[in-house]
Structure 1
């Protein structure tokens, strides 16, 4: 077994978890739905879940990481959600006021499959939905976005 992630240098982490893109896979929607069912059993009532990020945009290349936006109805629900997610094995990556980010699927051996990034926010803090919906409604613009991502990746 490798050393714990918390003891790795930034260089070791970049080597273990490189940024890579892959063509769109229909299974990404299924991975989201499966994880959504798990999260519904963890999160307080009234929380909203959304598949966001490039894996939620039809037909474009993306990092094979499922981004899930969770909207909590108030600060108490936000705090309770954060505690419940930690208890369920999610790793808190950042906590900045009303925004908390969690990861799941990073191991000392590299990426698990699937990998999730959770973005916990207060209700209404969901600009990613507008971006996702716009790109899904405008495939030509989504392809331009994909081209930019592929260019920057290289």
Structure 2
């Protein structure tokens, strides 16, 4: 079987299609359990904040059954050191040394998705849009419903093209992230780094 990190984008999209499922109340516990493990493994890393983000963090929202975690770090930190710590159980999706970001996944196997799937997004402490969008959907159920309908329509069109699926949602996400920033101000602006 192919090494997942060496798999072409086309093969990856075929092996791991867009699959949406109804909201699962267990996602919150999956996040909490994984958060504890991460905090234990990264005890020497300057963690600023950790959050459950993405559609699985919004109650009642249809979602890919993937728990997204945003891990923000205070400066300074080493992506190489973090990768070495997490590498035994996480696959590197992308790494950007200039921006200080690292994206990893767990639960992608040569046979397809595992029972629990995670994406870990490591970034420097910031005022990240993902947090605002999550909060907006959590407090505006009609907008969350519209977003779910959009995702379901896109799942049919782009089942094997994650890039196109994500791009097709961008306008919606951008619009409501801006509204969230207007409503919630700078609630996630780092205060001490």
Higher strand residue share:
1
Q: 1:143 to 1:20 in 2, by over 3 A?
A: same
CA distance in 2, matches of 1:69, 1:123: 10
Report 1:62-73 matches (<5 A).
Answer: 62-73=63-74
- Indicate the residue corresponding to 2:77 in structure 1: 76
Q: Which runs of 5+ in 2 are unaligned?
A: 157-193
Structure-2 residue corresponding to 1:85: 86
- Does the aligned pair in 2 maintain the 1:72–1:78 contact within 8 Å? no
Aligned to 2:12: 13
Following TM superposition, by how much is the alpha carbon of 1:10 offset from its aligned partner in structure 2, in angstroms?
A: 4.1
Q: Deviations over 1:6-64 (max 9, x none)?
A: 45444443332111100001011111111011001112243421000000011011000
Structure-1 residue corresponding to 2:23: 24
- SS at 1:141's partner residue? helix
Q: Structure 1: where are the runs of 5+ without partners?
A: none
* Equivalent residue, structure 1, for 2:60: 59
2:109 is matched with which residue?
A: 107
Separation (CA, whole Å) in 2 of partners of 1:6 and 1:17: 13
C-alpha distance in 1, partners of 2:79/2:128? Answer: 14
**Size of the alignment, in residue pairs?**
152
Computed over aligned residues only, the root mean square deviation of the Cα atoms, in angstroms, reads: 1.8
Q: Distance in 2 between matches of 1:59 and 1:40?
A: 28
Is 77-86 or 91-100 further displaced after alignment? Answer: 77-86
Kept in 1: contact 2:94–2:104 (CA 8 A): yes
Following the alignment from structure 1 to structure 2, what is the Cα–Cα distance between the partners of residues 72 and 83? 16
Change (3 A) 1:8 1:71: closer
The two structures have a TM-score, normalised by structure 1, of 0.89
Would you say the 8 A contact 2:47–2:71 is kept in 1? no
TM-score, normalising length from structure 2? 0.72
Change in 2 beyond 3 A, CA 1:10/1:79: closer
Shift of 1:3: 3.6
